[in-house]
Structure 1
Amino acid sequence: MPHQPQRGRTGRTLGARTARGAALAGGLALLTLATACGGDEDDGSTDDGRARTPAVSAPSAGVVAPAKVEVIAALTGCKVKIRTDADELREGVCHTTGGDYLITTFPAEKYKLTWLDSAAIYGGRYLVGPQWAISAKPKMLEFLRTKVGGVVRDLDAERTAGAGPGTP
């Protein structure tokens, strides 16, 4: 007796469903790459040829890193040492030749906003993304932003301007 192809609930063969699913996944991957790699006519220099400092709030990377200490550390080129592993946050320390920095991730955005409210007392600049923040020297923040995206938040300037850390 010849072998009959296995069919799913809809009557279609499982091979056709698998192929269609693979095509859909491939299409979504290409769409993500196409939108992340959009070109920009601005070369980042001023009329007299000097490099222009990017706006503090403009993300540099096309895609922003996910909220996982180890993933962010790998994207920045460091082997992280976890310092705090709590329900509200995880912190990892990176020691590199370019400088040291602290990566903090949060299970929900509300915890990051609370953390930024607390950090506003001390001021400083932080690289901030969805459910994560990086503490480092300002020059290091600009370098890290090219690796993981996010925005640089100047809590001193926000406090002076009267804007709370929860505002973009």
Structure 2
Amino acid sequence: MLLLTAAVIALTVFVLIDLLLSAAIIRRLRDTEARLDEITPSARPGLMNGTAMPDFSDAAGTFTRAGVTDVPLLLAFFATGCRYCPTQAEQLAHRKAEIDGHGIRVVSVLTVLDDAAPDDLTPTLEKSGAVVTEHGPGGLMATFSVTGTPTFLLYDRTGTLLGSGNSIHEVMERWIP
């Protein structure tokens, strides 16, 4: 019986030591995470709100910075093979009247990743505005620091980025009055 009591006491001491060490490790991890949050940039990749629209031109030279002055612009980036793009393209087309009502011009940039794959997005995107097609990871995506699709960038008439998002709903609800 004495041996069993000693084993229970020893086990209790080890469990308490383990709990204290675990609490200290968790506290240290939380402190490290807080310091990392302070020194790392925003989680949202891409251009920051308030930055000026960069100079750009598509490969054909038909869509340029000079061609979109003095009008609010919604740039919508899509890609063939993107699993979320068809839904967002439909929602963009569905909200065309609302967007037009705010005087916003919509230009969709479609990146074709595989020329053999069917292009089901262009007919839907054409319902909401102009469509610019690029092959492979295009220059416009790089110029606007777009790292994934769908991505929406809303610029005011002076060419200042008002906001961005991965859904048309996010952009409309947050940045359009």
TM-score, normalised with respect to structure 2: 0.30
Q: Which has the higher contact order (CA 8 A, sep 6+)?
A: 2
Higher helix share goes to which structure? 2
TM-score, normalised with respect to structure 1: 0.31
